[in-house]
Structures are given as structure tokens and as C-alpha cells.
Structure 1
Amino acid sequence: MAKFGDLISVEKPVLIDFYFDYNDLEKTVHTLRDVAAALGDNAKVIKIEIQKNETLANALNIKGNPTFMIYKNGVIKWRQTGFQDARTLISLVQQYI
């Protein structure tokens, strides 16, 4: 995986989904595909598995599953724990485009 700082230090917004692999994965995968398709090249959408990235998850104080974050230019703009529907995520990310 690329360095986290490199992933979030871009001008376009970055939506990150921190998840556990046993979560309702299919539901979130379809949601994130819809978000990515709607936003196109205007934003990045990334999934990060908490168990495979425990050091990062601990550093970011990720306690819930899933936890969504939006970064822009390396700065966190929004964070929410719990499932979010595609329409909500699209609307949130569009605020930072």
C-alpha cells in the first residue's frame, strides 16, 4: 500500500472507507463503486482494511466499522462512523471539489 500521507496529500478530495473484512462487505463495495462512478476523476475513493493496517487505524483512532473520512490537501474535512448511503457520500465529497 502507498504511504497514507501520499494518498491524502492531493488537491482533489479523497474519500476513505476504513472497514473490517467481516463487515457487510458487499454492501459497502457496491456503495463505493456507485460513489466512485458518480464522482469520476474529481475525487479518489479508497478502501482500507483495518486489520491489515492496524498501525494506521490506531494512529487515526479508528474504533468503529465502517469509518469514513474525507481528506483534501492532506487535511481531514469530514469523518463519520457507521454505514453511509451512496447519495450521502457523493453529496459530502462534492462539497470539497
Structure 2
Amino acid sequence: METKEKFSDIIKGDKPVLVDFFATWCGPCKSQAPILDNLKSTLQDEVTILKIDVDKNPKAAAAYQVQGVPTLILFKNGQIKWRQSGVANIAQLQQVIKNAR
């Protein structure tokens, strides 16, 4: 339960939070990972990036109706500002985060 509470506290913040719902067996998820690493090193503290393994956290995946992986959801102040299933490139993610600020 503690993890769920921490998650809800994190997504309620002022800073945009990009959540990557993924699975270890998912090929496209593996190609999304370095894009997110690059995004984090580019934007530094402007965004929080969380990775949630849908196989280990089925309740979190169900709570946000995650049907396929990867699914990316951007939260700000506890609200969903953007979501996409499938791999997103860095330019698209930077624009989405910039628009959410």
C-alpha cells in the first residue's frame, strides 16, 4: 500500500510526472527505455520519470486502464495531461512536457 500512496503523492505535484507503464518481455518497451533516459538527462529536474512494470503492479495498470505496453501517461497536479500507447520519440515527449508546464 505504501507504494500506491507514494505514487499518488508524486503525481499530485507541480512538476510534470511521466509514467512509463511497461513489461520486461515487451520489445517496444525496450526501445522506449533509452529514449526516456535521454529525456531525463536533457530535462533534468523539469520532469519526474517513473517506470511501472504492469506484471508486478497490475492494480496500477488497471487503475489507469492500461491496455497495452508501453503506455506513457503525463501527470501534473494529479491530472492526466497526456497519454499515448506505443513508443514516443524524444521530440514529442519534450513538447508534451513543455505544454504541461
Superposition TM-score, scaled by structure 1 size: 0.91
State the match for 2:62 in structure 1.
58
State the match for 2:78 in structure 1.
74
Whether contact under 8 Å (1:38, 1:90) holds in the other structure is no
Query: How much has 1:41 moved relative to structure 2?
Result: 0.7
What stretches of structure 2 of length at least 5 have no aligned partner? none
Query: What RMSD in Å do the two structures reach over aligned CA positions?
Result: 1.3
Please show how residues 15-34 of structure 1 align to structure 2 within 5 Å: 15-24=18-27, 25-34=29-38
Higher helix share: 2
State the match for 1:86 in structure 2.
90
Question: Which structure 1 residue ranges, 4+ long, deviate > 6 Å from structure 2?
Answer: none
Aligned residue identity for 1:30: P
Distance 1:2 1:38 in 2: 28
Describe the SS at the equivalent of 2:96: helix
Describe the SS at the equivalent of 1:5: helix
Distance 2:85 2:98 in 1: 19
State the match for 1:5 in structure 2.
8
Describe the SS at the equivalent of 1:65: coil
Aligned length in residues: 97
Distance 1:54 1:20 in 2: 11
Describe the SS at the equivalent of 2:66: coil
Percent identical among aligned pairs is 32
Distance 2:4 2:67 in 1: 22
